[in-house]
């Protein structure tokens, strides 16, 4: 699946031999092991040297040592990894920005973070509706045009704002591309504590009470398929569990907590590893794992492809191949407590014939993990990345890569009936009947689909309408926001894609100077230059509050639309540079992946996403209403 992978994923095409040297030469190592991917003509979706340089040497070493590229870096010595990183980054490992002045002063104890307005996990609640009710939003449609930038925090060694914030108890919890989880003050952005995971963290964080031990814990996963529980008040580690040993496995969907159990979806980058012809493709299967929230012990694990992979009959001489494989689960599971079920959307297959559970919506039993039903929307979708030349791993008939990347949403309509709403990278959206094995109630096409969406990361649902942001990144006409009636699936309104903000002033990059997180709030200027990735595609998840839809765009625009008719109520240009409360140089870019979070009168969004068609950035922005007269 062509999800938004780490900047370093395409290093999977490195050659298998190690370069031995008394004093490692970074330039030689890079030429032997990396240049085939990262210099012209390179490999599809491999970041350029310039893009890698933006990560910094320390982040590159971390990726090769314990991050997403651990498999590819394990035959390198520490000196060789450091030499490659120093050559690419243009400087040695080290040089972390001093953020000691970022620390908060004395803070009130974190008693019950869920007693006040909060946003926990991916979709606020386990139904994944991405709708924040008025009592928690603390913000009305009438106030939205007065939103201004309150503070900004920069993230070092980062080019993609992978993780969606969680806000509870007046604190904001967020993971990062380089593996740090931070607890910030939700109103000011100062830092209470930080925790270092073994690898990058791109999941949203779920907050829950510890029934046996007291207090509250934060639950999240990393891109090495580890799940963590840490103390919400202090950041101290409670437990860590690896839920999948496959070298390509990772966790991208937020763990979902209910009744003492943590439900974890497992995804993979094996389709990127398989772009290397020497890689024996493929053996990963997507899964859901239920853990005891108190201890981290596994209760059950269900592979969504029941058949274990084995040697394929059509393997070529000297290149054994395996299958069935694929069906990664990229998003958080959706819980249906009344029916005792959870729902997931699965990704494409990696091998042919494609498993019947790929590109499907599935229901599993909450208690046992047994598969109750499957509704496959796109059959025969076998796909791996970078298929060129004579790679035996490549499917003979490559599919369209039309995963379900967004969590299903369970909603009770105003007529009292329940509906399961789903959106696919094909651009198709569906209302499914959870009482009839996911049979289709209605279907609406939100826009042209592609390997980068369609419906890429997430949509929002209230009691009457579903709101779909269309990416269409690789199509002639990307973008567009649709509101669809829940009962019929008929279009209520459609908001046309706006003119891209990043194209307005290609030569104004930084001309207006850095924008302050305290002064001059909400101003425009300092836009990033036009170029690749400057379009109005809407790949990021969207968020709804009563009367308002918040949507981030690939052009760096952050917009609020009327939920009644789609009119734009407010726009913020998130391109350019920002002055940060932690002193880390920060820059905006594309808004992709995670969506906005609205809590207690504040709106939070991460900006920057280094991937094909999108532009890097490393800043978290917080908006609110100034306490001046008239507000």
CATH number reported for the structural domain that contains residue 23 in this entry: 1.10.760
**What band does 530 get if pLDDT is binned at 50, 70 and 90?**
very low
Flag whether 21 is in a domain: yes
- Of 3-17, 23-37, 359-373, 528-542, which range is least confident? 3-17
Q: Are 629 and 197 in contact, with CB atoms under 8 Å apart?
A: no
**What band does 341 get if pLDDT is binned at 50, 70 and 90?**
very high
> Which residue in this structure is represented by tokens 């790929």?
358
Q: Do 65 and 194 have their domain in common?
A: no
pLDDT of residue 347: 98
Q: Provide mean pLDDT across the span 90-117.
A: 75
Residue 335 domain boundaries: 166-203+205-252+254-406
> d(Cα 70, Cα 223) in Å, to the nearest integer?
11
Q: Are 305 and 357 in contact, with CB atoms under 8 Å apart?
A: yes
Domain count, the chain: 2
* Reported pTM: 0.85
Q: Do 85 and 176 have their domain in common?
A: no
**What band does 66 get if pLDDT is binned at 50, 70 and 90?**
very low
Q: Do 173 and 318 have their domain in common?
A: yes
Q: Are 359 and 379 in contact, with CB atoms under 8 Å apart?
A: yes
pLDDT of residue 40: 60
Q: Between these two residues, 611 and 594, which has the higher pLDDT value?
A: 594
Q: Do 199 and 80 have their domain in common?
A: no
Angle formed by the axes of helices 78-89 and 26-33, nearest 10°: 90
**What band does 510 get if pLDDT is binned at 50, 70 and 90?**
very low
- Of 6-10, 267-271, 328-332, 472-476, which range is least confident? 6-10
pLDDT in tens, 347-399: 999 999 999 999 999 999 999 999 999 999 999 999 999 887 688 899 988 99
Q: Do 61 and 193 have their domain in common?
A: no
pLDDT at 562 over 70: yes
What percentage of residues in the chain have a pLDDT greater than 70? 83
Q: Do 189 and 333 have their domain in common?
A: yes
Flag whether 524 is in a domain: no
pLDDT at 256 over 70: yes
Flag whether 117 is in a domain: no
Q: What is the CATH classification number for the domain harbouring 348? A: 2.140.10.10
pLDDT of residue 343: 99
Flag whether 122 is in a domain: no
pLDDT of residue 502: 84
Which of 72, 89, 106 lies at the terminal end of a domain, its last residue?
89
* Three-class SS of 431-476: EEECCCCCEEEEEEECCCCCCCCCCCCCCEECCCEEEEECCCCCCC
C-alpha distance across the termini of the chain, in Å: 46
Flag whether 447 is in a domain: no
- Of 155-164, 248-257, 310-319, which range is least confident? 310-319
pLDDT at 179 over 80: yes
Residue in 542, 589, 456, 592 with CA at minimum distance from that of residue 129: 542
**What band does 100 get if pLDDT is binned at 50, 70 and 90?**
low
Q: Do 334 and 243 have their domain in common?
A: yes
Q: H or E element: which one contains 61?
A: helix 57-65
Q: Between these two residues, 44 and 89, which has the higher pLDDT value?
A: 89
**What band does 53 get if pLDDT is binned at 50, 70 and 90?**
confident
Which of 406, 430, 453 lies at the terminal end of a domain, its last residue?
406
Flag whether 127 is in a domain: no
> d(Cα 155, Cα 191) in Å, to the nearest integer?
12
Flag whether 594 is in a domain: no
Task: List, as one string, the DSSP characters of 486-517.
Answer: TTT--EEEEEPPPPPGGGS-TT-TTTT-PBPS
What percentage of residues in the chain have a pLDDT greater than 90? 69
Q: Between these two residues, 14 and 53, which has the higher pLDDT value?
A: 53
Residue in 49, 99, 95 with CA at minimum distance from that of residue 583: 99
pLDDT at 514 over 50: no
Q: H or E element: which one contains 229?
A: strand 226-231
| Torsion sign over Cα 573, 576, 579, 580 | positive
What residues contact 318, with CB distance under 8 A and at least 6 apart? none
Flag whether 322 is in a domain: yes
Q: Do 77 and 170 have their domain in common?
A: no
Which of 30, 55, 89 lies at the terminal end of a domain, its last residue?
89
């Amino acid at each position: 699946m062509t999800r938004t992978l780490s900047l370093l994923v395409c290093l999977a095409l490195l050659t298998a031999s190690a370069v031995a040297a008394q004093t490692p030469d970074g330039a030689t190592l890079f030429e032997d092991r990396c240049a085939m991917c990262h210099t012209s003509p390179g490999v599809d979706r491999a970041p350029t040297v310039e893009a890698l340089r933006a990560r910094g040497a320390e982040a590159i070493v971390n990726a090769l040592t314990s991050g997403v590229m651990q498999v590819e870096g394990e035959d390198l010595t520490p000196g060789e990894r450091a030499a490659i990183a120093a050559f690419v980054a243009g400087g040695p490992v080290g040089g972390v920005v001093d953020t000691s002045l970022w620390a908060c002063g004395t803070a009130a104890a974190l008693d019950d973070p869920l007693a006040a307005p909060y946003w926990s996990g991916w979709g606020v609640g386990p139904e994944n509706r991405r709708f924040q009710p008025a009592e928690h939003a603390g913000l009305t449609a009438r106030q939205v045009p007065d939103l201004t930038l309150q503070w900004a925090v920069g993230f070092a060694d980062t080019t993609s704002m992978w993780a969606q914030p969680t806000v509870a108890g007046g604190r904001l919890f967020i993971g990062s591309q380089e593996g740090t989880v931070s607890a910030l003050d939700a109103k000011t952005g100062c830092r209470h504590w930080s925790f270092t995971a073994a690898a990058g963290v791109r999941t949203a964080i779920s907050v829950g009470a510890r029934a046996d031990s007291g207090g509250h814990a934060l639950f999240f996963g990393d891109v090495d398929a580890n799940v963590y529980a840490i103390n919400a008040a202090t950041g101290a580690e409670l437990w860590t569990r690896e839920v999948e040993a496959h070298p390509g496995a990772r966790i991208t969907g937020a763990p979902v907590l209910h009744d003492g159990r943590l439900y974890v979806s497992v995804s993979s980058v094996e389709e990127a590893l398989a772009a290397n012809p020497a890689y024996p493709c493929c053996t990963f299967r997507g899964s859901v794992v239920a853990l005891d929230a108190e201890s981290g012990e596994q209760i059950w694990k269900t592979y969504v492809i029941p058949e274990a992979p084995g040697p394929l009959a059509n393997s070529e001489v000297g290149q054994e191949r395996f299958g069935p494989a694929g069906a990664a689960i990229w998003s958080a599971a959706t819980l249906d407590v009344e029916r005792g079920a959870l729902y997931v959307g699965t990704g494409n297959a990696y091998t042919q014939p494609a498993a019947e559970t790929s590109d499907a919506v599935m229901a599993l039993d909450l208690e046992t993990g047994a598969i109750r039903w499957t509704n496959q929307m796109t059959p025969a979708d076998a796909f791996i990345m970078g298929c060129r030349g004579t790679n035996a791993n490549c499917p003979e008939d490559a599919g369209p890569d039309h995963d379900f990347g967004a969590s299903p949403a369970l909603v009770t309509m105003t007529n009292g009936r329940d509906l399961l709403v789903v959106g696919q990278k094909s651009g198709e959206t569906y209302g499914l009947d959870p009482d009839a094995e996911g049979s289709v109630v209605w279907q609406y096409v939100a826009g042209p689909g592609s390997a980068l969406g369609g419906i890429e990361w997430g949509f929002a649902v209230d009691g009457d309408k579903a709101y779909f942001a269309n990416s269409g990144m690789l199509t002639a006409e990307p973008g567009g926001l649709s509101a669809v009636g829940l009962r019929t699936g008929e279009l209520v309104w459609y908001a046309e894609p706006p003119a891209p903000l990043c194209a307005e002033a290609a030569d104004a990059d930084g001309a207006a100077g850095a924008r302050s997180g305290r002064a001059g709030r909400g101003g425009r200027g300092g836009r990033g230059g036009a170029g690749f990735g400057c379009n109005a595609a809407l790949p990021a998840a969207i968020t709804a509050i009563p009367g308002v839809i918040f949507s981030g765009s690939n052009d760096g625009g952050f917009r609020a639309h009327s939920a009644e008719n789609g009119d734009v109520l407010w726009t913020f240009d998130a391109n350019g540079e920002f002055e940060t409360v932690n002193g880390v140089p920060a820059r905006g870019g594309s808004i992709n992946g995670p969506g906005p979070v609205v809590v207690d009168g504040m709106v939070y969004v991460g900006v920057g996403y280094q991937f094909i068609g999108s532009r890097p950035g490393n800043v978290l922005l917080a908006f609110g209403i100034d306490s001046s007269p008239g507000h």
